[in-house]
Structure 1
């Protein structure tokens, strides 16, 4: 029997995860990637003995990774429990250092990171954020004792949102308005549709605690002032499964997933930029039949999955004559997430350096106003906040001996603003590094610096093909959540599917893995694949 074929555009984590699932569903699958290596936003930069993850660095929900490494050819496991009882523990696995399951461990090592984040405030004080209830309460008592009672009430609210929004609804594909309307009453009852910052402000009086418990959506492109309070579940996602790091960097995870995909029989074609998705009219239907590469080569397949940016997929890869739902005006109307400036740098170690951590959040003097500048006004303010990532505290092999590899990430407006990054980028990078030196985070950094490079929103737009230079796809806000978020199955074109941060359920490494499973389930349904038999279970 001839096996069906599938093409996946883009080798981001969501694309690779979907390709693995398609291969296990019985499709001969090929990934086409425009860059010279895999990873997409998780591309790796190497220079002067330093290894820099260019994109995501925070791993959560390690059993999602374990599930991918468990899949086999013609063993899709689509009907296996999404959250088996064995992974719903009390967090002891995190504190005991068990991150990767047995199948993951055949491919790479994943280790826990504690604290999850050290959050620095502008006055120099800090909060070590982790899953230990006693430690969290001690941190609050030290910085804002008036918020201890509020934390207990927030904790219970977040638990309820996590239970309903993540464990029960996380894998729900909202393909119709009716599928969403059925859950709205529950979300209203939980207070999960109001802005997250509004929910947080009900429980915390201190500005510091409001920032500590609302900043996390920024890591997936969300504005805490606008993102719905259902994202309070991130607190419990991290509390339940911890924050982890792949030894060798996120790039090592990407390479391991590609190895798994190729072991299943899949293929990867690098340097293969897609010029268009080929569509054929069949009666009243429009059907995806493959892709045409920029080189002129045409690749045919029974289905196409785009891991490219949602807006770019429709605006640049699909002829507008084939788009009745995702028309130009509709696609451009959706709000895009903010963008990023990321500075990659290597520096010499020194005894007596300040006690930084693997993940450091350095907040500026303003919070709400700065968020408004970035997301709404789209202006580059004089002040900034940043995420300073120093993975060599966990994995020294990422830098030459006696050196640290680091990157610092600054949320900035996307390119729908009027910022000329080609003109100001270099000076802004200097300003950020000078801040780290002058504020004492890395003393004498200028003298110790041995490597520096950076990317701006122009990189996201021009190299990664992200519309408006967005860093995280479509912005997660209430009007762009669940059914209102771009759909994983194209409404316009049969056999065209989307996967990744721009689709349901949203951005972030665990979410794009969830997106891959949701998309694979829709494909199995559309192609009438008996998921029970494919999963190795009797019909």
Structure 2
């Protein structure tokens, strides 16, 4: 049986291992940490359970598909519920908006709250769907770096309708050309953060993302986001995948332009196929340091990172749901600070995720577990202690004003994760959450491919390569790698 080695047990690496096992490979996964999941991990502190990383779950059929590959019923191993409310939005002037998952309800409510013609919103969402339908098979489901991808009816159709994709203007410009209300523009600008980019730089094609949320829905996995990792690791082990935890890989062995295995801290392992789920930057700088470096890819601007406060809150807030956003009063300045000044704005947009709303055991009775996040620049050697202290004050001040409460006295437990910590624990270069930023119209084509052009039997998956970061795209990267690797 041919052997495959996967470097890194992030969600993309686990999914790749499951797929290659179904193809007949003897698969081993090597992970430097003592746990699987990468950013998709959890922690229990003082009676509260927190998901440490990704908090939004969409397109669960990509997870279900992995169980079906091995003739297993997903429901027996992994369960989730569909949310009726996508997110609750709050502004400093008292405006509140609860975004419903049902498209018609969303249009009616948004038209009323923002005094926006319903036709504007309806047409925007129709264009969002059109963009996704035209480009999904090209940009998301196939390798952009294989000629065969472009010799297809779908590609020709997308090319002939390229004017409808808004590639030549920013997401903000696209939204401002559609909506009269600045708050609604800001709401739709927020979707740039789903790939760690700025709405003032990322192209308007990113307006396809709202369609994904409303068409496919947003979900909550029973047991929390970490249950995605737990269930897939269990599946992988059940189908024969071997995991080597606390075993960092030091080098991918290349001879005669072929990957033939790895060197880890514990020894050498041969393989017929090697897949790196490690961030593409350290993959080349550390594991492939003797090989030719893809300089254009490695110097790409990194996506945003995050500063996260995990708070145990000794109170229930009925006005909050699973996902909540408290918007900055000046969104453009916030992103200018993040991407241009590599700093944090004094009035940040605050995202609060509360899994105890769906999973009461995640917090003691009468309490809530708050995942409080602001978008942040990557780690460029900033004084993170000072930035954390000031941001904490700014966040509390904002929440106190909008919720009309002294939140400080309800914080009974706290720990913090900054970009420096994200970089250290996940090997994500500069702590970037999504690898490279998508702050240009060529960004999709600049991501590193899912295979090596110069080294045979070497492949790449995960959020730092094509098609991008976030759970669905990481799972799609595994699917693309699966398509590229021959049957055992």
TM-score tier (shorter): over 0.9
Q: Does 1:165 align with 2:135?
A: yes
> For the Cα contact (< 8 Å) 2:347–2:394, is it kept in 1?
no
Provide the aligned C-alpha RMSD in A: 2.1
Q: Does 1:288 align with 2:259?
A: yes
> For the Cα contact (< 8 Å) 1:356–1:441, is it kept in 2?
no
Counterpart position of 1:443? 405
Within 1, Cα distance between the matches of 2:321 and 2:50?
Answer: 17
Bigger Cα displacement from structure 2, 462-471 vs 187-196? 187-196
Q: 1:360 aligns with which of 314, 324, 330?
A: 324
The Cα of 1:441 is off from its aligned counterpart by 3.1
The Cα of 1:6 is off from its aligned counterpart by 0.9
1:467-478 pair list within 5 angstroms:
467-478=429-440
Within 2, Cα distance between the matches of 1:393 and 1:489?
Answer: 41
Q: Does 1:189 align with 2:163?
A: yes
The Cα of 1:435 is off from its aligned counterpart by 3.3
In the TM superposition, what whole-angstrom CA distance separates every residue of 1:130-188 from its partner, at most 9, and x where no partner exists?
A: 33233222222223324433212212211211211225653121114784595562452
Within 1, Cα distance between the matches of 2:250 and 2:284?
Answer: 12
Q: 1:312 aligns with which of 267, 271, 282?
A: 282
Within 2, Cα distance between the matches of 1:137 and 1:56?
Answer: 27
Q: 2:108 aligns with which of 116, 120, 138?
A: 138
Q: Does 1:333 align with 2:333?
A: no
Counterpart position of 1:425? 388
Bigger Cα displacement from structure 2, 341-350 vs 166-175? 166-175
In the TM superposition, what whole-angstrom CA distance separates every residue of 1:355-374 from its partner, at most 9, and x where no partner exists?
A: 11110011110112211221
> For the Cα contact (< 8 Å) 1:13–1:509, is it kept in 2?
yes
The Cα of 1:479 is off from its aligned counterpart by 4.8
Within 2, Cα distance between the matches of 1:505 and 1:130?
Answer: 28
The Cα of 1:19 is off from its aligned counterpart by 0.8
Within 2, Cα distance between the matches of 1:66 and 1:186?
Answer: 34
Counterpart position of 1:225? 200
The Cα of 1:312 is off from its aligned counterpart by 1.4
Counterpart position of 1:84? none
The Cα of 1:10 is off from its aligned counterpart by 1.3
Counterpart position of 1:498? 460
Counterpart position of 1:18? 16
Counterpart position of 1:117? 87
Q: Does 1:383 align with 2:357?
A: no
Within 1, Cα distance between the matches of 2:96 and 2:356?
Answer: 21
The change in CA–CA distance for 1:367 and 1:439 in structure 2 (over 3 A counts) is: same
1:61-210 pair list within 5 angstroms:
61-72=59-70, 103-166=73-136, 170-176=140-146, 179=149, 185-186=159-160, 188-194=162-168, 195-210=170-185
The change in CA–CA distance for 1:104 and 1:481 in structure 2 (over 3 A counts) is: farther
Unaligned runs of 5+ in 2: none
The Cα of 1:391 is off from its aligned counterpart by 0.9
In the TM superposition, what whole-angstrom CA distance separates every residue of 1:394-421 from its partner, at most 9, and x where no partner exists?
A: 11111222221110111011123x5211
The Cα of 1:388 is off from its aligned counterpart by 0.6
Q: 2:55 aligns with which of 54, 57, 69?
A: 57
The change in CA–CA distance for 1:369 and 1:265 in structure 2 (over 3 A counts) is: same
> For the Cα contact (< 8 Å) 1:165–1:230, is it kept in 2?
no
Query: Structure 2 length normalisation: TM-score?
Result: 0.93
The change in CA–CA distance for 1:463 and 1:62 in structure 2 (over 3 A counts) is: closer
Q: Does 1:269 align with 2:244?
A: yes
Bigger Cα displacement from structure 2, 394-403 vs 236-245? 394-403
Within 1, Cα distance between the matches of 2:228 and 2:213?
Answer: 19
Question: Partner of 2:340: helix, strand, or coil?
Answer: helix
In the TM superposition, what whole-angstrom CA distance separates every residue of 1:168-227 from its partner, at most 9, and x where no partner exists?
A: 653121114784595562452323413222222221121111112221230221222222
Question: Partner of 2:478: helix, strand, or coil?
Answer: helix
Counterpart position of 1:88? none
Query: Structure 1 length normalisation: TM-score?
Result: 0.85
Unaligned runs of 5+ in 1: 76-101, 531-539
Within 2, Cα distance between the matches of 1:41 and 1:455?
Answer: 11
Equivalent residue pairs, number: 483
> For the Cα contact (< 8 Å) 2:334–2:344, is it kept in 1?
no
Q: 2:482 aligns with which of 520, 526, 529?
A: 520
